Amino acid sequence: MEPEEALRRLGGVAMTRQVHAQGASDTAIRSAVRRGSIQRVERGVLGLPGADPVLVAAVSSKSLLTCASAADRYGLWLLHKPIEPHYWQSNGRRTAGCISHRLSLSQPRPSEPYVALPDVLLHALFCLPRLEALVMVESAYIRGDITLDYLNRHLPGNRAGQARDVLANVDRGAGSLLETLARVLFRDVGIRTETQVWIEGIGTVDFLLEGFLIVELDGIAFHLDPRQFKKDRRRDNEAIRQGMLVLRFFYDDVVYEPEKMLRHVREVLLRGPARMWSN
């Protein structure tokens, strides 16, 4: 195999021994370096021109990306981008300016410099704040990429109690990161919360709280299509006609001002269901 193809399979950057393992010879590697089609990043590390610097840094540190730093690789929901890279490191290695994970891997690593998806999630459960870990796990669970049983089997002992508590809150009802966050926020304060509820004449709503308050969430890609905007408002009108109340919140409300959102929800719930005028 040509070294360029080997590196493409390995994510664009790899240890020289990994390129050898793909079938590229020393002669082919030296020739590719002379052509400029691959580069010697540093001793023992080869890369394609323009290789992802995040991957280059990980391989140069003899590390694998994991936890929040591997979320994009697996298409997982991520509440906050990590400030420092999360590395899995073995053999006692430590790299300055990173968050080091040392939990034993439950599965073989992929060819690219990442740990396998189950280990990304296990590391997140031990490392990240509760909500950040929850959204990552729930996104994989909803897609069917992981089972809660698998994760629980790898969380023995008292040290894993908080991680198991996160798994106990995983639900299939969310259609987005925002819905996961809002559901947990509502339930944490004792609000009776139903998700993805079908209501005749209205359709499926994101949340039905205490049986009468509909909450809809509009993400970053809010409905700018005039037809969708009109459809949403007609749904709101029909809900009110049926005696329910409606609140709509945006991404910033849920992620950056959750307490304000909860305050508005509580105020409406305290007023009770809408009163219907009688003739």
* CA distance linking residue 18 with residue 57, whole number of Å: 16
pLDDT tens-digit readout, 103-145: 889 999 888 999 999 999 999 999 999 999 999 999 999 999 9
Q: Could you tell me if 130 and 211 lie in one domain?
A: no
**For residues 31-51, average pLDDT:** 92
Q: Is the residue at 277 inside a domain?
A: no
pLDDT-above-90 percentage for the chain: 69
How many other CB atoms are found less than 10 A from the CB of residue 168? 8
pLDDT in tens, 164-212: 999 999 988 778 899 999 999 999 999 999 999 999 988 899 999 999 9
Predicted TM-score of the model (pTM)? 0.85
Q: Which of 114, 142, 168 is the last residue of a domain?
A: 168
Q: Is residue 148 part of a domain?
A: yes
User: Of the candidates 168, 198, 224, which is a domain's last residue?
Assistant: 168
Give me the number of domains the chain comprises: 3
- Scored b (16 or more CB within 10 A) or e, 92-104 reads eeebeebbbbebe
Task: Output the domain CATH number for residue 215.
Answer: 3.40.960.10
Strand partners, 99: 86
Own/partner contacts of 174-177, CB < 8 Å, gap of 24 or more, are: 174/138, 174/142, 175/206, 176/77, 176/217, 176/219, 177/77, 177/78, 177/79, 177/135, 177/139
> What integer pLDDT is reported at residue 106 of this predicted model?
93
Domain of 241 in residue numbering reads as 177-271
* CA dist., res. 207 & res. 12, Å (int): 44
Give the angle subtended at the CA of 133 by the CAs of 127 and 136, to the nearest 5°.
Answer: 130
